[in-house]
Amino acid sequence: MLPKINNMVVLAALAGALSLPRICAADTEFSTGSSDPLIQYINEQITQTWEDNEVEPSEVASDAEWLRRVYLDIIGRIPSAEEVDEFLNDSSETKRSVTIDELLAHPDYVRNFTEVWTNLLIGRNTPDGTSRPGMQKFLRESFARNRPWNEIVYDLVTAEGHFEENGAVNFILAQLQGNANSEDYHVEATAKLTRVLLGMQVQCTQCHDHPFNDWKQNQFWEFNSFLRQTRRIDHERYDAASGQMVDDYSELSYRDFDGPVYYEMRNGLVQVAFPNYLGESFEERGINRREKLGKMMAYEDESQTVARAMVNRTWAHFMGYGFTRPVDDMGPHNTPSHPELLDRLSDEFVKSGYDVKQLIRWICNTNAYNLTSQFGEANEFDNPAAGEVPLFSHMYVKTMTAEQLYDSLLVATNAHASGAGNYERSEQQRMRWMQDYLRIFGGNEDDEPTLFSGSIPQALLMMNGPLVQKAIDAEKGSYLHSVLSNTSFRNDSARIQALFVSSLGRLPSRNEITQIKKLMQLSRDPLTAYQDLYWALLNSNEFIVNH
Amino acid sequence: MSQQTRKDRTTHAGMTRRHFMNHLALGGASTLGAAHFLSTLEANAAQVQKNQKSCILVWLQGGAPTIDMWDLKPGSKNGGEFQPISTRGDFEICEHLPEIAKEMDSMSVVRSLSTREADHERGRYYMHTSFVPNPTVVHPTFGSVVSYELGSKRKELEIPSFVSIGGGSMSPGFLGMTHAPFVVDRRGQIQNAGMDGMDQQRLRQRLQMLGTIEDGFIRSERGDIGQAHKDVYTKAVNLMTSEQMRAFKADDEPAEVREMYGSHEFGNTLIMARRLVQTGVPFVEVQFPGGWDLHNDVFNTLRTQRLPMLDTGLAGLVRDLKQRGMLDDTCIVVMGEFGRTPRINQNVGRDHWATSWSALIGGGGLAGGRAIGETDADGLRVISESYLPGDLWATVAHALRIPLDTVHTSKRGRPMKIVNGGQPIQGLIG
């Protein structure tokens, strides 16, 4: 089906734009259609901080702006022209909450969250002796079944075995390199596990007491002590073709270790550290330490550290900023921006059975998530990029990740039409195409999503790279070809609109149509004009940001 | 309003018309262009001599057996097959490096590196950044530090301020993609920068369309991101159409210059590096073509392949820089991720070794002709003061006039000293 863009849609969209509700303290007429009382609570908490800080929230985002955002955030790509069209034509008052549910049930939700978490757990560049497909398979199955987050965490912390048969092992495997008997062998795993899963940066205490809180140096080594019974084993096999030994597989294995860890204080004194999880110590011999740690984190921690870390990170995924900065540096030294809200959301997340989809549903249905990213005088002060505490009085603009950009380009251009086949095969092909995008746009997985760090090779790849070239060559099967050859687009305006919708997810303004038509007349022929327009749309700042 | 719009359309989108037209005039007339460019290079060179510092890093991927190159151990069971020869400096080097031996009055060897990381990835990270890998932060490679400190001040520079020839160098880390190495292949090809099949008229047409859409987004008040994006595109278009792009064309050099560098792939990449430095690029990394991870057959490989190429190429670079009066402003560092075991293994190879090894360093006003530090008779231990990568890079920072107390802030707000608190090696800066 090709998108139907006609004047009726334009009128409907314009009418919608004129009647967008405003959210203010006294009058919360806006609703996504969800009636969950927790959403009401979140709205009240956020509204309270607006009042306390004397900012006025921005208006509710237009349907087009919101739809593009929610697609990118939940399923990792922009909506197709057809999906935009359908949503804009839907007059139901609950269409936003319905869309959130539909996207959470979409297969691309699983793929997107698998990608996001693979990058967090093992990085974009897979370390040696680590199976990316294994990690992805574990996460894919977990997100597809919406497994409780604490169970996923338990597996990540305690898994043992072959890196493809038990994909969860890859999280710790990726952090174990070098000599297994070195005192440093478990340092990276300690730092990564506490940071990513507990939202705690204990690594500062590897060498000294924490400068800003009560954490002592022993804390790092107490966590480290939990991981000492762990090592990687890399198996090789004989390769007849080359006559040499080659890598076969890796496994995460038990390592015989008991007793304390010894570490040196700055004054040279040597100290001992037994496993200790936030005050609870395990000094007895003969216990499986990783299993203890997993149990404490997933099931027995009364302060719900795992849940708080996940709530904070997920909030940041959708809103651009978490309740703390950085999002994984929570603790007594770093007061959250909205402490009560964070407490309550964490409680509810635990009560829901660590239901990740439910957490996303709550966040996406809040008023704050539904605001436009445009700000004005009344809230320009709410600017976390300038170091202010985020008040969530407007949406913060995020840069697309390499993966989002690539997948969105495919949606806008239809280059993936030829990529049918089974999951493994299309995924392999996609990975090959994606290498350029990952290498050139990949950057650092620790980047805040709101950070823009553009480079010349990025611009060159978008301007002249093979994917965009192919997208605008207007060959049969491409989106551009389908617009130009479809007689239901009766005139230039209709075709220009179609190209705006498929790339930017919105209709062009009247002024934009006028300007673009003028420019198109300067082209040597109509095809060139449309190619250049589509090139410009795909290369624009508006395309590459999630606003 | 419409007046304003017309004006915008003819001049916006990141490229002045004059610049554009200049380039148009040059297009296709490559001989004329080359001549013109060379005179520009010479003019630039005069300026570089006065005030522009730069560094060329020659990276020996795999970890070179420096015990067979810069710190020979004749008479030891670890000594291997090569004999030392004297140099113009106050020390000896390998007999298969005769050309660079003649330039050793300008270059020095640091023989007492002791760097603990003997894994390729970890060593590569450590030697490029001065920091050991840390799970919470990605440290910038030193080229990115130089790009950040010096590149942003060189307004006349239209090409990136950190170029890596023949491979990727390392990450810019928390300094951001703006300071990422700009990667070109050994022939100077830049991915996606070609204007093949596109005329200037068409590019301008596209950029005008782009401007219309981008400016609307910038005006919509969503933060700085819209303008930041436009600025990067401006730089990219300037690059595509810049005359300075000719710096990547080593083939434009006269044959006698190419002969001076050995007339081989490595020499050509060094010529490119010199042309880039002449144009004002403050940091160029050159990946040596051919690996140094010589677990097998180390002596044959060195004698017949690696050393002759390294020797003629490097000697050519030093001579050329000297002749052009650029050596005192251009630092040269030659190293890989570690050295190799003094013990020769059963495959007549040497394995990874970070405990005691050497790097070559010189130019940029640093002292030449010196051997800094010392290893024992079998090459197994450093018996003098030992040095870390941070000390090497501190020495380079000193030569480039980058203050050592410069502090960068990681994305987590953690202040970090450049070169990890390393100190310049006194014997080189005295």
Tell me the per-residue pLDDT of B90-142, one tens digit each, with 9 for 90 and over: 999 999 999 999 999 999 999 999 998 888 888 999 999 999 887 667 899 99
Tabulate helix, strand, coil % of chain A (nearest 5): 55, 10, 40
Q: Which of A383, A452, A536 sits opposite B209 (nearest CB)?
A: A536
Average of per-residue pLDDT across A42-46:
97
Contacts of A448 in chain B (CB under 8 A): 411
CA-CA distance, A221 to B199, in Å (whole number)? 63
Are the beta carbons of A446 and B137 separated by less than 8 Å?
Answer: yes
Quick: pLDDT tens for A223-263: 999 999 999 999 999 999 888 889 999 999 999 998 899 98
Tens-digit pLDDT profile for residues B373-425: 999 999 999 999 999 999 999 999 999 999 999 999 876 677 889 999 999 99
Residues A415 and A465 in one domain: yes
Query: Residue A96: enclosing H or E segment and its boundaries?
Result: helix A95-104
User: Which residue in A130, A436, A455, A538 has the most chain B C-beta atoms within 10 A of its own C-beta, making it the best mutation to test that interface?
Assistant: A455
Where is pLDDT greater, at A57 or B416?
A: A57
The mean per-residue pLDDT over the stretch B267-271 comes to 97
* Closest Cα in chain A to B161: A456
pLDDT grade, residue A22 (50/70/90)? Answer: low
Does the pTM surpass 0.90? The reply is: no
Are residues A241 and A126 both part of a single domain? yes
pLDDT > 70 in chain A, percent: 87
Please tell me whether residues A349 and A435 are part of one structural domain.
Answer: no
CB contacts of B224 in chain A (<8 Å) are 385, 452
Residue A394 near residue A58, CB atoms below 8 Å: yes
- How is chain B split into domains, by residue range? 1-51+196-240, 53-193+247-429
pLDDT of A185 > 60? The answer is: yes
- Residue A384 is classified by DSSP as G
Give the confidence band of A455 by pLDDT, cuts at 50, 70, 90. Answer: confident
Put simply, the answer to whether A512 touches B212 (Cβ < 8 Å) is yes
Q: pLDDT value at position A3?
A: 41
Residue B48, pLDDT above cutoff 60 = no
Measure the CA–CA gap between A466 and A442, rounded to whole angstroms. Answer: 18
Q: Which residue has the higher pLDDT, A435 or A344?
A: A344
Compute the count of residue pairs across chains A and B with CB atoms less than 8 Å apart: 164
Amino acid at position A497, single letter = Q
- Whether B197 shows a pLDDT value over 90: the answer reads no
So what's the pLDDT on residue A214?
65
Tell me if residue B399 falls in helix, strand or coil.
helix
Cα separation, A472 vs B32, in Å, equals 35
Q: How confident is the model at residue A402 (pLDDT cuts 50, 70, 90)?
A: confident
In contact, B379 and B335? CB cutoff 8 Å:
no
For residues A97 and A131, membership in a common domain is answered with: no
Higher pLDDT, A259 or B311: B311
The answer to whether B133 contacts chain A (CB < 8 Å) is yes
Nearest CA to CA, how far is B291 from chain A (Å)?
19
Q: Are residue A411 and residue A380 in the same domain, yes or no?
A: no
Of A396, A418, A435, at which residue does a domain stop? Answer: A396
Tell me whether residue A294 is in a domain.
Answer: no
| Beta carbons within 10 angstroms of residue A326's beta carbon | 21
How do strand B182-184 and strand B339-340 relate by DSSP bridges? unpaired
Among candidates B62, B71, B61, B77, which has minimal Cα distance to B94? B71
Backbone φ, ψ for residue A7 (5° rounding): -65, -30
Window from A46-60, A99-113, A324-338, A450-464 with minimum mean pLDDT: A450-464
Hey, are the CB atoms on B210 and A453 less than 8 Å from each other? Answer: no
Partner A contacted by B418 (CB < 8 A):
no
Is A5 domain-assigned? no
Q: Which one of B233, B234, B414 would you mutate to disrupt binding with A, by most A Cβ within 10 Å of its Cβ? A: B233
Q: How far is A327 from chain B (nearest CA, A)?
A: 10
Write out the residue range of the structural domain in which residue A486 sits: 402-546
Strands B283-287 and B54-59: parallel
Chain B residues with CB under 8 Å of A383 CB are 223
Q: Contact, A407 vs A77, CB < 8 A?
A: yes
A453 contacts B178? CB cut-off 8 A: yes
Q: Where are the alpha helices (DSSP H) in A284-355?
A: 289-295, 305-319, 339-351
Count of structural domains, chain A: 3
Nearest to A456 among B209, B230, B232 (CB): B232
Residues in A touching B119 (Cβ below 8 Å):
177-178
Q: Is residue A197 part of a domain?
A: yes
Is residue A335 a part of any domain in this protein?
yes
State the Rg of chain B over Cα. 23
CA–CA gap between residue A193 and residue A200 (Å, rounded): 9
Per the CB < 8 Å rule, is A519 touching B122? no
Residues 173-202 of B with CB under 8 A from A: 173-174, 176-178, 180, 182-183, 190-194, 202
| ω into A326 cis (within 30 of 0) | yes
Select the residue of B173, B177, B192 nearest A455 (Cβ to Cβ).
B177
Lowest-confidence region among A126-130, A204-208, A431-435, B48-52:
B48-52
Nearest CB to A536 within list B119, B174, B206:
B206
Can you tell me the mean pLDDT for A53-74? 97
Nearest by CB: B136 against A195, A519, A545 = A195
The residues, any chain, with a CB within 8 Å of residue A168's CB and separated by 6 or more, are A135, A138, A155, A156, A159
Quick one: tokens of A260? 């304390």
Q: Which of A222, A253, A288 is the last residue of a domain?
A: A288
User: For residue A129, what are its two tokens?
Assistant: 């002796």
Q: Which of A453, A512, A535 sits opposite B206 (nearest CB)?
A: A535
Q: Dump pLDDT digits (tens) for A73-130.
A: 999 999 999 999 999 999 999 999 999 999 999 999 999 999 999 999 998 888 889 9
Contact yes or no for A394/A382 (Cβ under 8 A): yes
Question: Which residue in this structure is represented by tokens 């990029």?
Answer: A385
Query: Are the Cβ atoms of A516 and B212 closer than 8 angstroms?
Result: yes
Are both A41 and A97 inside the same structural domain? yes
A493 or A20: which leads in pLDDT: A493
pLDDT value for A279? 87
Structure tokens at B376: 């024992």
Inter-chain touch A191–B183, beta carbons under 8 Å: no
- Looking at beta carbons, which residues of chain A come within 8 Å of B177? 443, 453-455, 458
Least confident of A17-31, A337-351, B108-122, B189-203: A17-31
One domain for residues A128 and A75: no
pLDDT of residue B61: 96
User: According to the CATH classification, is domain B53-193+247-429 in 3.40.720.10?
Assistant: yes
Distance, in Å, from the CA atom of A109 to the CA atom of B62, rounded to the nearest integer, reads: 41
Q: Which two tokens stand for residue A444?
A: 């650092």
Whether residue A130 is found in the same domain as residue A93: no
A332 band by pLDDT with thresholds 50, 70 and 90 = confident
> B57: part of which helix (H) or strand (E)?
strand B54-59
Same domain, A435 and A357: no
Q: Are residues A270 and A126 in the same domain?
A: yes
Q: Are the C-beta atoms of residues A189 and A202 closer than 8 Å to each other?
A: no
Q: What is the pLDDT averaged over residues B236-261?
A: 92
Confidence of residue A472 (pLDDT cuts 50, 70, 90): confident
Are A432 and A526 found together in one domain? yes
Domain boundary residue among A367, A396, A425? A396
